[in-house]
Structures are given as structure tokens and as C-alpha cells.
Amino acid sequence: MNTKNIHISDFDYNLPDNRIAKFPLKERDHSKLLVYTHGSVSEDIFYNIPKYLPKGALMVFNNTRVIQARIHFRKATGALIEVFLMEPAEPTDYELMFQTTGRCSWLCMVGNLKKWKEGSLERDFEIKGHKLTLKATMDRSKTTERSGGTNYWVDFEWNNANVSFAEILDAVGELPIPPYLNRKTEESDKTTYQTVYSKIKGSVAAPTAGLHFTEKVLADLDKHGIQRDELTLHVGAGTFKPVKSVEISGHNMHTEYIVVHKHTFERLLAHDCKAIAVGTTSVRTLESLYYMGVKLVKNPDASEEELHVNQWEPYDLPHNDEGLVLVDGRPVSVNESIQNLLDYLNRDGIEALHSSTQIIIAPGYTYKIVKILVTNFHQPQSTLLLLVSAFVKGDWRKIYDYALTHDFRFLSYGDCNLLMP
């Protein structure tokens, strides 16, 4: 199969609007759970998920936290401008960005751009009784084309050096819920659109498979002997970008930034490099690690930036029937690749790998690390549905037909799948 020639229209299904969950259930772990095991489909309640998982397995979560990335400014003319934070520009490090005081810069999407032709936008507000003014100025010379759309360089300034940008977002930012919910963000979304284990700020969309977990479910997983680990992938707005090309070769995946700590590599190796992934973001991170470790076979001194995984790399590199990349005719095993990354960190005294990926996972891809997948139901004709299809070896219609005929709720606030092919 030539993956690049896949027609996205082959991954379509009819999703009525009333099947899209507009709000979450009151108790997040009471959502329905579709269980797919070796081709057979059954259902349960999510809080029973531990009993289906092999004891002693490694389960990997994405601990990213959604930021209140939408900032609204009103011009003197009355025009409302929305500035949507996409990616830190100065400083580029997420952690440093949220600690920044006084000024910073972001790459942003801008709503109602035609009304913001020149000058700065200003917004007055209060933090802890102190009055502040936030000023936004666009530098049009630094506009960049990204796969999520056009990103504009916006400089932010505020007149209180004791206030961090994180505090500003908490005060004036709005949580960006998915566009297909067709409603405004509500106060409750600040809690319900975050996983209970979210820690590292940076995403503009939640890793939604994780929304079903509660502290009780996590404790039950521990009792069941599941070892939990966390990594970070900051989800960009490109995750909602529809595939508009006939063949997927015409679709550009957006770059996603990942952080994986030493303990994750150590635990992967202790589990024979096999893992249960919670969500498609964890999948893309874990599967990208294999290709990063392969790069170190060819170039042991590569920088973290050079470890970036390009979209079509898994398909363009020579590989054997098991999908393992051939370097000088020799297949690189998954364990060797992950060991390479751990040695790379140890050699340089680094606690965590910071890199990025554009990987697209679609039919024709051979999974290297992820053996079980926890995920929600995805939009028709989406790259996420391609990822699921590759995982269940094309059997996605059986899963989705069952869900559609058995009252499952779809998309971000919807029900969950446990896929064990």
C-alpha cells in the first residue's frame, strides 16, 4: 500500500450533530467504554477500564495543560479582535514564556484581521486589585505560514513587572474549546476541558482521551499493577485542521513539540518497549521516539532539533517487513532505538529530551511501541481516524458502526474506545 495515495473520502462516515457531545457527563469516569479485542466489540463503563488491561503493563499519559489562549480586544470603533495564541515566539520555551514579566511575543492567529490594519490594541483589567493595561502590537514583517493557517507575530506588553504572562492569561484569556462544539466557552470548561493529571501549560486543545480519568480510576490502575508514566506533547490548533486534499499526500501535518524525561525511556526499556497509550497525542510522541533513536544510529551527535521527525519519514526510509528501519542494510530494533535516546541524554547530562514531530500515522504504518490504545471517537475524514485505522488494521468501520448504533457520544466530550487489536 502506498500510504500517500490514500483517499481521505474512504474514511468518511455520517456523524449527526446530535451525536456530538456538547458537554461532558457530570461524572467524567461514567462515560461509555467501547472495548475492541482482537476484532470483537463489546461495551462497558469507563471506570471499569483497569480490569481489561494486562497487569504490570506501562500506561503513558500526556500531561499537557490547555491554556486560555484566546484574548479579545475591543477597538475604539467597537470592532472586536480575537488574538489566538498558537506558539511562543520570544521566548520560545513554554515554561519560560509563562514566567515572563513585562513583555513577550507569540505567533498568533487573528480573528477579524481586516479591522486591525495598524496600531496597537489595548485592554484594561485588574489582577489582585492592581490595574493593568495589556497592549498587543503586530509585527507584519514576521508573519509565517503554518499548516494551521497564517500565524502573525504579536508583541505583548503590560505595565506591571510583578505580573507574569501566566497570570495575565488567567485573568483575560478564554479557554479555546473545539470549534465543532458550536457554542461559547463556559466557566465549567475551565475544569472539565482539562485532564485531572494536567501539569505543563502549552496546549490549545486538550488530549481528550484523558478527560475520562478520575483520581479513583488512576488509583484503581495502580492497584491493578499498571505502571503509569507521563510525557508532554503540546497540542496545536492544527489538530482540528480538516484534510482538504483528495489524497493525503497533499495534507501538511503541523509541528508538535514534545518533552520526554529519562524515566520514560528507562520504563519503556523495562517493559520491552511496549506501552498502552492514552490518546493519539501520546501515540504520536511514542511512535516518533523510534525514528529519533534511529537518527542517532546515523548521527550520534545530532542536536535535539535535528531529531525532529518529518511527516513522511516513516514511509520514505528503507525498512523490513516488520517496519523496522534499515541502516546500512541492518534493521534497527525498537529497544536499540530507545536505548540510543537514553544514552544520548545520559551522555550530555540531560534530564529530558526536547524535540518535535510532524509524524502522520495512517494505514501502511507499522506500530513500534503502542500495543493498546485508549482514545475517543474522531471526526470523519480526519488524520486521527487514519491513525486509528492503522492501529486496528482497517477495522475502524466495525467500531464506529457499533458506536453509532449503540448510543455512544462522539468527539472531545464524548465516550471512549479501548482498542486491543
Overall size of the chain counted in residues: 421
Beta bridge partners of 151: 144
Cβ neighbors of 60 (< 8 A, separation 6 or more) are: 228, 229, 230, 231, 264, 275, 276, 277, 278, 282, 286
pLDDT attached to residue 254: 84
Grid cell 467597537 is found at 78
Q: Are 226 and 267 in contact (CB under 8 A)?
A: no
Structural domains of the chain, with CATH: 3-65+190-420 (3.40.1780.10), 69-174 (no CATH)
C-alpha cell at position 165: 504572562
Q: What is the pLDDT of residues 40-58, one digit of tens each?
A: 999 999 999 999 999 999 9
Q: Using DSSP bridges, classify how beta strands 64-66 and 70-74 pair: parallel, antiparallel or unpaired.
A: unpaired
199 pLDDT higher than 50 = yes
Three-state SS at 372: strand
148 pLDDT higher than 90 = no
63 pLDDT higher than 80 = yes
Measure the CA–CA gap between 327 and 323, rounded to whole angstroms: 13
Query: What's the mean per-residue pLDDT of the chain?
Result: 95
Q: Using DSSP bridges, classify how beta strands 149-158 and 130-146 pair: parallel, antiparallel or unpaired.
A: antiparallel
Grid cell 475551565 is found at 190
Write down the number of H helices and E strands in the chain. Answer: 10, 19
C-alpha cell at position 325: 528501519
Q: Using DSSP bridges, classify how beta strands 352-357 and 256-261 pair: parallel, antiparallel or unpaired.
A: antiparallel
- The dihedral through the CA atoms of 407, 410, 414, 420 has a sign that is positive
Measure the CA–CA gap between 334 and 89, rounded to whole angstroms: 34
Whether the model clears a pTM of 0.75, i.e. scores above it, the answer is yes
Q: Are 382 and 275 in contact (CB under 8 A)?
A: no
Q: What is the pLDDT of residues 210-257, one digit of tens each?
A: 999 999 999 999 999 999 999 999 988 777 678 899 999 999 988 889
Measure the CA–CA gap between 331 and 320, rounded to whole angstroms: 7
Q: Are 215 and 277 in contact (CB under 8 A)?
A: no
150 pLDDT higher than 80 = no
Q: Are 317 and 366 in contact (CB under 8 A)?
A: no
If you average pLDDT over residues 80-105, what whole number do you get?
Answer: 93
